[in-house]
Every structure is written in C-alpha cells, then in structure tokens.
Amino acid sequence: MTTLQQGVNPRIVVTGEANGPMEIGVRMAVLVDSSRQMNLSDVLARTEEWASITRPTPNFGFSRDAYWFRFTLNNAESHAVDRYLELPVPFLDDVRLFHRMGDSTLAEYRLGDELPFAQRAIRHQNFVMPLTLSPGDNHIYLRLASAGTIEASLKLWVPSQFLVASNNDNLAQGAVVGVLLVMVVYNLFIFFSLRDSNFLLHIGFATSYLLFYFTLTGYSYQYLWPEAVRWNSIAISTFIAAAIVFTCWFATNFLRLRTFSPRAFVLLRTMGMAGAILLVATFFLPYSWTIRLGTFLAMPVTVSALVVGYWRWISGADFARFYCLAWTALLIGLIVLNANKLGLIEANVWTNNASQIGVILQVVLLSFTLADRMNHDRIRRIAAQDTALQHERQARESSQALIKAIEESNRKLESRVQARTMDLHQAMGQLQAANDRLKELSTTDALTQVRNRAFFDEAWDAEVRRASRTLTPVTLVLFDIDHFKRVNDTYGHPAGDACLRRVAGVVGSHVGRAGDVLARCGGEEFAVILVDAELEQALQWVEKVRSDVQQQVLEFDGQTIRFTASFGLAHGVPQARTSPQAILAFADKALYRAKHEGRNCVRHETL
C-alpha cells in the first residue's frame, strides 16, 4: 500500500493566486493507528513511521484502523491568507484536524457524522475547516476513523471561490433530487389511478434511493435531521436495505416470476427477505457490520434482478425490454460507485456521481416507455380520424349522387314518381330488415345462440356508464364449465359443444328481465350482466343457476355426461373513473378464487 520513507512530509506551496480548488490528493504522508488510541503527541513523536501514499487516490476502503495524515502548506506570501480545507466525505464518523506552526497549535477541529451538526465551524454538508495560513510552513495533521470507508480526498479553497462552487454544486444536486422527486410523484399519481402494486413498489425503491443519496451527500444531516445524531449514523445502511427489499419485490411482481420461473422467484424473494432482516438489523447491529452487508448484498441483488429481466425479455416478454435497459443503467452506476468506495478506481466527478447518473438514465428510459406508448396511441387516433373523414366524404358523395339521380328522374318521368317512391321504400325496408338480421347474426354466438363477446363488450360498457351516472349497483357474473378440457378429451368435441349448448340453455332460462344479458365470451366461459340487482339477490340468483347446472344430465351418443360450473361475481356502484375493465377484473378474480377453492361454487368481490 505504501512505501516507507523516513521523515515523509509533503510540502505544498500556497500563493495568493488560485483558480479553483487545490486538490491535495496523495500529496500527504500517512500513519496507520491500528489501536485507534494515538493522540497528537504520540503522532508527533513517531517521525520515522510515516509513509507516502502510492495508490491513485487516498481511498482506503472499509477499515477498522484510524488513519493519520500530514502535509505542509507553505504560504509563499508575506502576509497571512485565509483558506478553507474541505473533506467532501460527509459520512465519516470522526474527523480531527490540527493546524500547527513550529511547536504551537494554531487551530484544532473535531468533526464527524456522530457529532451534532451545529458544532461544525462551517454549516455545510461536507466537512469544511477554515485555516488562516501564516507566512512560511503550516503543518496540517488530520485523523480519520469511521465504521465505513476511509477517504481523505482533501481540497484547499479560497473562501469566495468555495461559496460559488458550493452554490453551483447545490444547484446540481438539487436537480438530481428534483428528478427523483418527480419520478416518485409521477408514479404515485399512476398508482392512485390504476391501483397497480408495481407502481407502489417502484415508489418504495425510488424513495429509498432518494433518501440514501440525500444522506450519502450529507444534505439529510444538514436539512432534515441535524440533531438526530444516532439516526444519521445508521441511515445510509437502513436506506440501502430498504432499496434491496423494494428491488426484489418489484422484480418478482413486474416480471411475474411466480409463474415464469419458481426458482428465480424463490431466489429474489429470499434476497428480499435478507434485505428485510438487514433493514431491521440496522437499528440494533453496529454500522460497521450493516454497511458491509448492505454494500455486498446490493450488487448480487441488482445483478440477479437484471439477469432475470433479460431472461424474460429473451423468452418473448416484450414488456421487459425497457425494464432491462433501465436497470442496466442503474447497475453500471452502482458498480462504479462501489468500486469507487472500495478504492478500486480513482475518485472524480463521474465516479462520485455514477449512481446519480445511473438513476437519471433509468428515469429517462422509463419515460421512453411512456412516450412510446403515447406516440403509438396518437398515431392510432390520427389514423382513425383519417378513416372516419374518408367514410364521411364517401357518404356525402353517395348522398349527393342519389339526390341528383332522384332529381333527374323527377324531371324525366314525373308520372312514375309515386311508383318509384314505393319501390324505393320497399327496397329500403328490405335493406333495413337485412341489416337487422345481419346485426342479430353478428351479435349472436353461432354454437350456443346466446349473445357473443362483441355484444357483451358494448352492453357492459353502456351498463357501467349508466350505473355510474345514476349511482345504482351493477352486477357482473363470470362462469365457466369445470374441467371442460377433460370433457372434450374424454367424449370428444361434439360432446363438449353439446355441453356448452346445455349450459347456455339452463342459464338463459333464468335470464328473463329486461336489460339482463347472457353472453359467451369464448371457449367455455360465459358472462351475465344483472341490472339493478342487490348483492344478496344476485348471490341467490347465481346459487340457483349453479345448482341447476349441477343437476344437468346430458345423454350424448349413448353416454351420460355430468358437469358443474364455477362462478365469480363482482358487485358494487361504479364511480365516475371506474372502468368496465376494472370491474371485469374483479369478477375474474372471484372466478379465479372459485376455481382454486374447490370449483362448483360461487365467490364474489365488491367494488
């Protein structure tokens, strides 16, 4: 790590002219205090044990040792100059600085994230220590100790330039925080609109990362909890653990891993449980343990979530493509951040802000998803409008041609007007009858002679609008024949068709009120719309239908076939923003429960 050189004490010349900060970098001597008990007198006595720093940056990673650094600032001016010495690592536990000249100590500072924020000489998220450098050599001794990583990336500033740079940095960091807040609020609005848990999990991750980033940069301690010393000392590991939990849960839900790959589902849920345990442990275990566990757990969690996402995408799930791209950007940011914190790569503006850049790219990529969908919808609307305009133009031309033909006919043969008019009325009547018959055929299921899916969709949409307008309840029943595939496989498809016709006939005999609709939605699935029915009344009706279906005995080609059906019912008064698809999802959920709770039963959901 270091090369021993007797009396190492780098000397840095300070002049009155300065353009930006002076990076101290590795121009320091280092002394490792494994006992963490050495004081200034002990350090001054060990003149031959100092070593120079040979690594690219003064970043020593996780360490239980205390580190002493020394260097000399030589004021080449004939008068004293004021400087700020900044340590831009706000999560260090113990920071002590001694400014000496000759045998005297001119200034002494003791800072750290385990001390109240109000004790800082300069109220700043980083550790900033004012120095008045007398002409000649000014000896600086710095002691760092922390349960996390040890970093000594010092900068020497002219006070006026520091204030300008600090304001610019606050503006840039505020932009990052603003982007994350916009993401949180945006997804919160979508969650309240759609009630999709994926958005809530994404909000949890974004909020956890926002607070982690705000704490890592020191702004939380400065603005949110300047007096909460104990909480500030564990907040970073707490938010890392929370981000791990939300990442695992979001990945399993969004990628539907429970059905796609149970093993991947168990893996990510296990990691999520480990993150939850770590989240609780951050309040009891030492920070030095939890920050290491959180740092080393975050990488495999992110990699696993990303690998499974690409797996889903390659397997044909197109909805996973932007998920993969977004999390790839975040993974690269986390890799660079961890490598920076572990001292594997040099610290600079890009590596220090790698995670922020990754998160912003994630937000942009997810925004591309929304923009792509909105653009697709816009193109479809424009195409539909063009088609409607063409149809209108054709209808207008046809109408004008008909008028001209009638006028010409009137002029040529007035005596035949009445006869032609009667012929026209007769033709129009026949056309209307044909249209009515065609409409009837187009909305009727050919096999069961009940309404088909197209008629159901139109009737259901109208019924929901009516119910939301009049604030009256609406009831939707979904049912299908249990083990219908077994009927087809055992008795043949003609027998299955006979079963469908029998069920349609049985249920249709109970649908007699005006406005009630029975429709076949596809395969063995049917739907019934009950108008102005109370919940108890609807449940009694469905139970009676279920019982009648159960009692049916179908004789087909000398074979006796019995069958049952499962029913799912959704009931309630729809609100103005309630969509027909949302109520249909409730009914489908109830049917799913009926299937999984024994079949041949009725289950219901209320809005």
**Residues 453-506: tens digit of each pLDDT:** 989 999 999 999 998 888 899 999 999 999 999 889 888 889 899 999 999 999
- Rounded Cα distance between 527 and 520, Å, is 6
Does the structure show a pLDDT above 70 at 440?
A: no
State pLDDT tens for residues 54-98.
Answer: 887 788 888 889 999 999 999 888 888 989 998 888 888 889 999
* pLDDT at residue 366 tops 80: no
pLDDT at 569 over 90: yes
- pLDDT at 375 (0 to 100): 52
What stretches of 191-284 adopt beta strand conformation (E)? Answer: none
The Cα 270–Cα 262 span in angstroms is: 12
Distance between first and last Cα of the chain: 66
- In angstroms, the Cα distances linking 49 to 29, 70, 250 are 10, 12, 52
User: 475, exposed or middle or buried, with CB in 10 Å at 0-12, 13-18, 19+?
Assistant: buried
115 pLDDT higher than 50: yes
Cα dist from 188 to 88, 195, 319, 361, 391, whole Å: 34, 10, 21, 20, 42
* 373 band by pLDDT with thresholds 50, 70 and 90: very low
CA gap 167, 170 in Å, rounded: 5
pLDDT over 70 at 352, yes or no: no
* Rounded Cα–Cα distance for residues 85 and 138 (Å): 13
Can you tell me the mean pLDDT for 555-561?
87
3 has pLDDT over 60: no
Q: Which residue has the higher pLDDT, 375 or 563?
A: 563
- In sequence order, what E strands does 363-505 have? 474-481
**Residues near 85 by beta carbon (within 8 Å), at least 6 away in sequence:** 97, 128, 129, 130, 131, 140, 154, 155, 156, 157
Residue with tokens 């040529």: 412
pLDDT at residue 592 in the model:
94
Section 374-378 average pLDDT: 50
Residue pointed to by tokens 């840039």: 172
Residue 418 to residues 214, 394, 402, Cα–Cα distance (Å): 87, 28, 17
**In angstroms, what CA-CA distances link 580 with 105, 454, 456?**
78, 14, 11
The percent of residues in the chain predicted with pLDDT above 90, rounded, is: 25
Residues 6+ apart with CB under 8 A from 600: 482, 546, 550, 564, 565, 566
**CA-CA distance, 580 to 250, in Å (whole number)?**
27
- Taking each helix axis from N to C end, the angle separating 484-491 and 493-508, rounded to the nearest 10 degrees, works out to 140
How do beta strands 565-572 and 602-606 pair?
A: parallel
Task: Give the rounded distance of the alpha carbon of 36 from its chain centre.
Answer: 44
* pLDDT for the residue numbered 1: 28
Given strand 22-23, what is the order of strands in its sheet? 22-23, 155-157, 81-87, 127-133
Residue 21 has pLDDT above 50, yes or no: yes
| In the predicted structure, residue 26 carries a pLDDT above the cut 50 | yes
Give the angle 306-310-313 at the CA atoms, nearest 5°.
Answer: 140
Residue in this structure with the two tokens 């197209």, named with its chain if needed: 454
Which tokens sit at 296? 């080393």
pLDDT value, residue 381 = 74
pTM of the entire predicted model: 0.52
* Residue 343 pLDDT > 70: no
Asked whether the CA dihedral 58, 62, 63, 64 is positive or negative, the reply is: positive
Return the pLDDT at 289: 81
Q: Is 558 left (phi over 0), alpha (psi -120 to 50) or beta?
A: left
pLDDT averaged over the chain? 83
At 411 the pLDDT is: 78
Lowest mean pLDDT among 68-72, 111-115, 514-518: 111-115
The string of pLDDT tens digits covering residues 169-200 is: 778 778 777 877 877 787 777 777 767 777 77
What's the pLDDT tens digit per position in 138-161?
A: 999 999 998 878 888 888 988 888
pLDDT, tens digit, 9 for 90 and up, residues 262-285: 898 999 999 999 999 999 988 988
